Structure 1
Amino acid sequence: MGEWFEKQRRELLQIIEKYTPEDGAHDTQVPGLRLIRASRLSEPVYSVYEPSLCIVAQGSKMVMLGQEVYQYDPSSYLTASVHLPITGQVMKASRETPYLSLQILFDMNQILDVIQVFGEAKRARSEVGRGLKVSRMNDTLLDAVLRLVKLVETPQDIPVLAPYVIREIIYRVLQRENNASLKQFAVIGSHAQRIAGVVERLNRDFAQPLRVDELAVEAHMSASVLYDYFKEVTGMSPIQFQKHIRLQEARRLIFSGSISAAEAAFQVGYESPSHFSREYARMFGLPPVRDVSRLRSSFNEITVSE
């Protein structure tokens, strides 16, 4: 990375630092733009990534999808093309040099529009690839992202300029090699777009019994083809994907203090609390009550330190 790139990166992190007075994710007036700050290394955080572009201005982050590990820092960026259950962890951060990053949520209609303009829609119909990808950062993409973030300082310009800058960012990402993971999901009727519909269904109806045959009919695929494509996109089988979504939601419910572990188990679709407890411990390392107690202690430590 050259001197010009480093200058752009420093300007980007200065703006992010200015508009993130405390740790956490901060929405902005720019539609879909979220600024993120962390002043300490994090425990693994389980969440669902929305279709988005994620860029680090300072520090580094590790993301796990199933058994696959993705790490990115200022020299790279991550694209998520479909809603995916991931484990994220800030790997490099301190109070003096906080982790600073941003996320731009994707509008699939905007992506499709850009794809159609430069004639990639037909080829994208048959492409299927992983819904998460790390790519090398480049000067032109960083320049466009910086211009979008700078609009936070001139909110009167956002309605006019933001749609054009976002369009340019989409174009820059699609120009890069190995970009099938983004464009494939925007093309109506593509294999990947059908799998995205299945992913959306599982995210919405995760507490319902999983019936692959029904999902295959909806996706206009055979059950075996659906299974293969689904695993290619998400890195997991449909049942593994559902399990991740169920357990993450149960953890959120228990942590909120609104219901017990047994109640959370039934609410997310488990019929046996003991089965739920075993799978929960397998995923998070501890049974529900002990895990949530650990989370609360960690949360309280952060609150006190701040």
Structure 2
Amino acid sequence: MTELIEKVFELAPHEGDFNTSVPHLSLFRRNSPTATPMPVIYQPSIYMVLLGSKAAYLGKERYQYDPMHYLVSCVPLPLEGQILQASEQRPYMAARISLETHMINELLMQMPDEQEASVTSIDAPSKDGTSSRGIYVSKMNSDIQHTLSRLLDCAHSTTKAHVLGQLALKELIYHIINAEHGSLLRAFACQDRQQYHIANVLQFINRHYASSMDIATLASKANMSESSFYHHFKAATNTSPIQYIKTVRLHAAKRKMVFEHHNATSAAYEVGYTSASQFSREYRRLFSVPPAQDARTASKV
């Protein structure tokens, strides 16, 4: 692990976010913990902490990951994230590998027998739904550590990044889907599974959040009845479809105010709200500050 940390320090020499020359690989460095959990949308990714620790909250569920554990988000999920351990001497250091369905499917096609055996146990959600969540934490193993090390080596060279980096990335995903809880990640990539259809709906919502949506339309896209869709959707996300859409819209509005300098009213209508007062209430409930305050703060940056 010491060798891994040294490699990340070289690629992330100061506090901030760093894209690398390896496709899908980015790095994060923070010098202080987060005082309180912060709302954020986790995209489908593998999150690996090299130094420090972090927790993600999905409703009342807590997912903590550190150098001995990694987190996998199989689908886009509105969460609250909190860095628990970080300092200037020992900063929080993490790697993120973004995932796309085709990356997993390419591997599954090469091991069809294993694929079939791995997903049969999660066809139906458990009573509390946690067995079908689109997120999980798993123990780090030596295969994953060694492959991540080679992936970081590739980030130092553009040529290696696009040739050997692709091979190391494929090997890393192979180890992830064959590790503890990896069958869940497989299920969200298998076209004949309910989780796959829910994942497609979640991606649709994140692309078209400003459009008008109802349960019937979304259920139809998932090829499910409304009751079945609601059940599987909540099992994957721990929230209702309507609440999920609302949260995605509020995150999008915050991005528009912070990065595109929209005012609160403009951001509200851009993301699909028809009532500025309703937007303001729901924004404050999620982010603990009124949208106008975030808009004013962003305009001064």
Q: TM-score, normalization: structure 1?
A: 0.88
Q: Does structure 1 residue 38 correspond to structure 2 residue 41? A: no
- Work out which of the residue numbers 59, 82, 91 in structure 1 matches 2:84: 91
Counterpart amino acid of residue 177 in structure 1 = E
Counterpart for residue 14 of structure 1: 6
- Work out which of the residue numbers 40, 45, 48 in structure 2 matches 1:55: 48
Cα separation, 1, equivalents of 2:145 and 2:137: 15
User: Quick check: 284-293 or 66-75, which moved more?
Assistant: 284-293
Q: How does 1:157-168 map to 2 (within 5 A)?
A: 157-168=160-171
Counterpart amino acid of residue 214 in structure 1 = T
The answer to whether the 8 Å contact 1:285/1:291 transfers is no
- Deviation readout 1:178-232 (Å, 9 max, x if unpaired): 2222111111232111111110111111122221111111211000100010111
- Work out which of the residue numbers 215, 219, 233 in structure 2 matches 1:216: 219
Counterpart amino acid of residue 149 in structure 1 = L
Q: How does 1:1-306 map to 2 (within 5 A)?
A: 9-42=1-34, 44-118=37-111, 119-123=113-117, 124=119, 127=123, 129-256=132-259, 258-291=261-294
Structure 1 residue 155, shift from structure 2 partner: 3.5
SS of 1:253's equivalent in the other structure is helix
SS of 2:239's equivalent in the other structure is coil
The answer to whether the 8 Å contact 1:62/1:70 transfers is yes
Cα separation, 1, equivalents of 2:277 and 2:227: 31
Share of identical aligned residues, percent? 34
Cα separation, 1, equivalents of 2:73 and 2:175: 15
- Evaluate the alpha carbon distance shift between residue 22 and residue 296 of structure 1 in structure 2; reply closer, same or farther with a 3 A threshold: farther
Structure 1 residue 257, shift from structure 2 partner: 6.0
Q: Which blocks of at least 5 consecutive residues in structure 2 are unaligned?
A: 126-131
The answer to whether the 8 Å contact 1:80/1:133 transfers is yes
- Evaluate the alpha carbon distance shift between residue 296 and residue 47 of structure 1 in structure 2; reply closer, same or farther with a 3 A threshold: farther
Cα separation, 2, equivalents of 1:120 and 1:31: 27
The answer to whether the 8 Å contact 1:284/1:291 transfers is no
Cα separation, 1, equivalents of 2:71 and 2:56: 10
SS of 2:253's equivalent in the other structure is helix
Cα separation, 2, equivalents of 1:134 and 1:295: 34
The answer to whether the 8 Å contact 1:207/1:267 transfers is yes
The answer to whether the 8 Å contact 2:257/2:294 transfers is no
Cα separation, 1, equivalents of 2:245 and 2:48: 28
Count of aligned residue pairs for this structure pair? 290
- Evaluate the alpha carbon distance shift between residue 274 and residue 172 of structure 1 in structure 2; reply closer, same or farther with a 3 A threshold: same
Structure 1 residue 63, shift from structure 2 partner: 1.3
The answer to whether the 8 Å contact 1:58/1:73 transfers is yes
- Evaluate the alpha carbon distance shift between residue 225 and residue 92 of structure 1 in structure 2; reply closer, same or farther with a 3 A threshold: same
The answer to whether the 8 Å contact 1:16/1:36 transfers is no
Cα separation, 2, equivalents of 1:280 and 1:193: 30
Cα separation, 2, equivalents of 1:107 and 1:245: 19
- Deviation readout 1:126-149 (Å, 9 max, x if unpaired): 636111111111111111111111
- Evaluate the alpha carbon distance shift between residue 110 and residue 258 of structure 1 in structure 2; reply closer, same or farther with a 3 A threshold: closer
Cα separation, 1, equivalents of 2:106 and 2:257: 42
Say what the alpha-carbon RMSD is for the aligned residues.
2.1
Counterpart amino acid of residue 33 in structure 1 = L
User: Quick check: 194-203 or 35-44, which moved more?
Assistant: 35-44
